[in-house]
Structure 1
Amino acid sequence: MTSTTTSRADTAEWLSGFIPDLPTPFNHRDEIDTDAFGRLCERQIAAGASALVVGETAGESATLEPAERVQLVDVAARVARKRVRIIAGAGSNATDRAVMFARAAQAAGADAIMSVVPYYNKPMPHGMAAHFRAVAAATTLPVILHDIPSRTVKGLADETLLEFAASPCFAGLRDGSGDVARLARLRSRLPATFRMLTGDDNSSLAWLAAGGDGCISAVANVAPDLYVAVHRHFRAGRLYQARELHQRLAPLASLLEREHPAALKFALALLGFMQPATRLPIVQLDSRAKAEVAQAMAALADEYLAAAQ
């Protein structure tokens, strides 16, 4: 148990700021484009990311084969070479599969796993708790919980979260609800080492202001330097500068959220980092949506270049 406790305590520094939820690039044969994925990883590391999330929401986890999940972790770990932590998506609505994914991610070189609330099944609170205990027991890596009621229907109850936060097995929460009031309600009841991150780009600055630790972000894939700058300004007390940059990112954030991850993949394709290919049932953007994303990217260009200097 000592190694697990150490892993949890160690998250205080790296599990913070803006952490990209990386998309999974596919080639024309519907295989993972490992070269493109490696470039995405290296770009984020160069921009100052403290961790990379792979094979999760933006990574189209629901349509990845088990071997492909392992492949993503392996590529990310080899590119990172311990410069940043690799957080592997290991969620499933079947507990035995979530356990299998967690073990496989650890064997492939992940530094932590992210496990989402079981979707579709609508488990009762005791069943949800048993699910996450089984996942935590299957690995010595820190477990980051992912609560996103818009995709899972059932959310993680506050009391269940508080129970898990007291355990050294669980490092933090990715909250996809966008409910900043929840953070304000729970922060004083949580251990100082338990990290609270939002998964909602639009409310990420408000989340930081309410005492949150950071954002696991889609938009950070597109403009990592701007997101690092927002966090740096905020931590230095330069609230006006942080707010100005965050507001400039907001139009793109809203568009990416609307058709996620197809819009994110198209935005990265415009920048030349990957092909926009998706897997069914996700399809590529229609012409109108593409034009909207392209317009938002063009509007952001001047700010992005200024922040990157």
Structure 2
Amino acid sequence: MSVLPSVAVVILNWNGKKFLEQFLPSVCRSTYGNLQVILADNASTDDSVAFVQQHYPQIRIVRNPSNNGFAGGYNEALQQVEADIYVLLNQDVEVEPGWIEPVVAMMQQDQRIAACQPKLRAWHNKAEFEYAGAAGGWMDILGYTFCRGRILYTTEIDNGQYDDPQDIFWATGAALFIRSSCFHEVDGFDADFFAHMEEVDLCWRLQRAGYRICYCPDSLVYHVGGGSLPQGNPRKLYLNFRNNLMMLWKNLHSEDRWIVLSQRFFLDILAALKSLAAGKPRDMKAIGKAYIDYRRWRRKYNRAERDKLPEVKLMKMSGVFHGIMIWRYYFLQHKKFSELKHENARKAVF
């Protein structure tokens, strides 16, 4: 009789009592047979830890001494967690009882699958895909991220159109299944990111290391989204722009880096001017600050010392759209993933 891989669901919490009250019951109803649930607290100042201690004594609590964001918080907490598979679960996610089993089964069929995500639907509208991951993360040739079921701010209704398992570029950090050995092999998240894009960077590095990232449609979770920073928040915009630039500098093949980043610079200037024209000067300032801090980061970042992974051309990876997504979206009005030409889509076959 085969032994079930050990799974640790690790929920990173920062002042999230209202979400824990609402969603911990669904997590505790999980039916997987070799499971531990852990609350990793990022120096909360509310009474969320006391609430869990009182009402869920079976949940282990790992306390981080300070709030180092999503990336640093998980890096610190996971040093204290032993399991074959980590499940990094946002505090604002509701799960189905059998949500773990199909993902673990998929990962067990191929040891090269380092990370996997379930289907993400919106908690506020459970028929619709959710922004943060939908049916799997993709990226275009200029580093713009999107999902099967969500392009920019347009989300699709789930009619089963993406119910095929598939290799993807990145798996959502809202419900990320990842082999612990793979996580530590590539040194986990980049703590410089603090929050946003860190899971994309991690999955990119995993692909460079020769692993697969997959989407499992047989597992379903519901995500509230915007629990820490809502859409439209200048701080969120700043982190997304800065971290995307850092990610591109780190991971692009040296032959492609300057070509891609120069094109991004031009398009980001247009985005800043668009924000100003729309009466959102704070958004324009956020983009400008992102570039200033990215350049500061780049001066101190030593790629040779910090990154030992092989260079791999972006076009050779799974989940990459061989075109410019924002051109298709704004000028050709391609608002659905199915309307994009994605000849390089690779169905996950087991």
Same fold, judged at TM 0.5 (above): no
TM, length-normalised to structure 2? 0.29
Structure with higher helix content: 1
TM, length-normalised to structure 1? 0.32
Structure with higher strand content: 2
